[in-house]
């Protein structure tokens, strides 16, 4: 199949399933927003943001490494190397995740007292830590499906994940568990993630148990080296994803955390396209670069720029013009104060989507350090911008800082690609 068509086909599959995932994710948010107070809703996402900031110590950048090497080894028909990569990454992530979860459980009272200024938050921190400790298996399956370019299964996994959390949360809320409901829902989700093993064995890698495993120290070093570079880029990405909420929690009331976490995820609905492009371009570019086919990479980038703009601009326009209506419909009138945040971030989504195309190509051709440098610089700007703007301008200041940071990533990633391809 033509590689550009392959990219668009894969992107379309993910994009369509991502729409359904976003729909159910918003049903979940609506369910939570209408059954919790604004402060409780803010507390939920404040805890998730706190854990999210430390998630790089859970993944160690190895998920991206696994995706890259599965794609490369499949091209070379080295199924033994694929199995070794899977076992190595799972072992390392299992150990790091258990350690991270235990640290959070041990420090839960301290965090509740000095960060949330509310000891009642301690139990929620403990329960969410348990869910994180159960998550490695699901994360491994996602990396494997992406590496094998089985994007239907990858996207289906995301869809089933959010549907499961929605159903569990609904039942637990009806049982009167309040704020505890979504935390327990994640525990249940990761507990049943073993079910995806059957898709993995039957549809993706049926010869897994037939292939002999041999420990490969050289492969361990390659995965860790790649993962280390990815950690730096991921750390920067976490600044974009979580420091806004972290600093708003620290500097503003929990009600503002709740409002921001209605507007920001609403804008992130538009990120479904960029996420689809990233997941397709990363393994596909890696394969093309291994074949030294830079011309197809260039053609693909140009076509995907056009495809991205055609897809994202109309929806972004609606979010910019009608933010109050959208927030009221999805949540309630209690969240309309986030309208300006939604306007700003909807504009930023266009910039973000194009920058993700560039970063995915850079990662795929083995330049994670370039992405790391760009992302770290932009993340540093975003962090400083948040510290300067949030105390005075609140959640709108956080949104402005984020969008300017996206622009920095777009400019420098474009310049880096022009030097290489």
- What pLDDT shows up at residue 199? 66
Q: How far apart are the first and last CA of the chain?
A: 23
Task: Compute the distance between CA of residue 341 and CA of residue 12 in angstroms, rounded to an integer.
Answer: 29
Using the predicted structure, report yes or no on whether residue 293 has a pLDDT greater than 70.
no
Query: Which pLDDT belongs to residue 357?
Result: 81
Question: How many separate domains does the chain show?
Answer: 1
pLDDT at 417: 81
By the 10 Å C-beta count (0-12 exposed, 13-18 middle, 19+ buried), 377 is classed as middle
Q: What is the band of 407 on the pLDDT scale with cuts at 50, 70, 90?
A: very high
Task: State the pLDDT at residue 325.
Answer: 92
Q: How confident is the model at residue 109 (pLDDT cuts 50, 70, 90)?
A: very high
Mean pLDDT of 217-227: 80
Coil, helix or strand at residue 191: helix
Task: Mention every residue, 6+ apart, whose C-beta is less than 8 A from residue 326.
Answer: 266, 318, 319, 342
| Range 20-29 average pLDDT | 85
Q: What is the pLDDT, as a whole number, of residue 211?
A: 76
Give the residue from 281, 288, 282 showing the smallest Cα distance to 308. 281
Residue 15's pLDDT band (boundaries 50, 70, 90)? low
Q: What is the pLDDT of residue 278?
A: 61
Per-residue pLDDT reduced to its tens digit, 46-74: 999 899 888 777 777 777 778 877 777 77
**pLDDT, tens digit, 9 for 90 and up, residues 228-249:** 777 766 777 777 778 889 899 9
Mean pLDDT is lowest, of 19-33, 289-303, 308-322, 355-369, for 289-303
Residue 92 binned pLDDT confidence (cut-offs 50, 70, 90)? confident
Q: Compute the C-alpha angle 354/7/368, nearest 5°.
A: 55
Q: Is the pLDDT of residue 7 over 60?
A: no
Q: Can you tell me the distance from the alpha carbon of 264 to that of 67, in angstroms, rounded to the nearest whole number?
A: 28
More confident residue, 296 or 394: 394
Segment 16-30 shows an average pLDDT of 82
pLDDT of residue 13: 67
Least confident span in 45-59, 87-101, 150-164, 221-235 = 221-235
In the predicted model, what is the mean pLDDT of residues 273-288? 61
Residue 408 belongs to what domain range? 3-420
Three-state DSSP class for 10?
A: helix
Find the mean pLDDT for residues 277-305.
65
In this prediction, residue 285 has a pLDDT band, given cuts at 50, 70 and 90, of low
Task: Taking residues 372-389, report their average pLDDT.
Answer: 90
More confidently predicted of 411 and 154: 411
Whole-angstrom Cα distance, residue 389 to residue 257?
A: 15
The answer, yes or no, to whether residue 286 has pLDDT greater than 70, is no
Please write the tens of the pLDDT for every residue from 308-355.
777 788 888 999 999 999 999 888 888 999 999 999 999 998 888 888
Mean pLDDT across the chain: 82
More confident call, 279 vs 226: 226
User: Higher pLDDT residue, 363 or 392?
Assistant: 392
Q: How far apart are CA 266 and CA 25, in angstroms?
A: 10
What whole-number distance in Å separates Cα of residue 298 and Cα of residue 286? 13
Model confidence at 88, pLDDT cuts 50, 70, 90, reads confident
216: burial class by Cβ within 10 Å (0-12, 13-18, 19+)? middle
pLDDT of residue 312: 80
- Output the pLDDT for position 154: 74
């Amino acid at each position: 199949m033509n590689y550009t068509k392959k990219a668009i086909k894969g992107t379309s599959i993910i994009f369509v399933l991502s729409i359904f995932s976003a729909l159910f994710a918003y049903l979940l948010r609506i369910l939570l927003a209408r059954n919790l107070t604004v402060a409780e809703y803010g507390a939920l996402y404040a805890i998730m943001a706190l854990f999210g900031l430390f998630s790089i110590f859970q993944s160690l950048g190895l998920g991206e490494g696994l995706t890259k090497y599965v794609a490369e080894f499949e091209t070379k028909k080295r199924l033994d190397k694929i199995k070794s990569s899977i076992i190595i990454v799972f072992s390392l992530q299992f150990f790091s995740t258990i350690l991270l979860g235990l640290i959070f459980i041990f420090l839960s009272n301290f965090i509740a007292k000095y960060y949330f200024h509310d000891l009642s938050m301690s139990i929620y921190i403990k329960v969410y830590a348990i869910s994180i400790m159960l998550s490695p298996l699901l994360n491994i399956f996602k990396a494997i499906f992406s590496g094998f370019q089985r994007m239907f299964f990858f996207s289906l996994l995301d869809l089933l994940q959010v549907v499961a959390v929605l159903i569990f949360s609904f039942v637990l809320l009806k049982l009167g568990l309040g704020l505890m409901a979504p935390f327990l829902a994640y525990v249940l989700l990761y507990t049943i993630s073993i079910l995806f093993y059957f898709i993995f064995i039957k549809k993706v890698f049926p010869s897994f148990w037939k292939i002999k495993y041999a420990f490969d120290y050289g492969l361990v070093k390659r995965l860790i080296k790649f993962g280390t570079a990815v950690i730096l880029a991921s750390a920067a990405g976490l600044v974009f994803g979580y420091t806004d909420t972290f600093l708003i929690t620290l500097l503003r009331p929990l009600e503002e955390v709740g409002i921001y976490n209605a507007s920001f995820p609403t804008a992130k609905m538009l990120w479904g396209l960029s996420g689809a492009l990233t997941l397709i371009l990363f393994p596909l570019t890696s394969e093309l670069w291994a074949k030294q086919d830079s011309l197809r990479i260039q053609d693909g980038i140009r076509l995907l720029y056009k495809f991205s703009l055609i897809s994202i601009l109309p929806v972004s326009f609606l979010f910019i013009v009608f933010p109050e209506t959208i927030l009221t419909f999805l949540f309630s009138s209690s969240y309309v104060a986030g309208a300006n945040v939604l306007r700003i971030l909807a504009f930023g989504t266009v910039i973000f989507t194009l920058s993700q195309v560039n970063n995915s190509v850079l990662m795929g051709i083995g330049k994670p350090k370039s992405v790391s440098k760009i992302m770290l610089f932009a993340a540093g700007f975003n962090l400083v911008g948040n510290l300067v703007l949030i105390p005075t301008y609140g959640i709108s200041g956080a949104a402005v800082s984020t969008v300017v940071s996206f622009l920095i990533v777009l400019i420098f990633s474009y310049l880096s690609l022009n030097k290489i391809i």
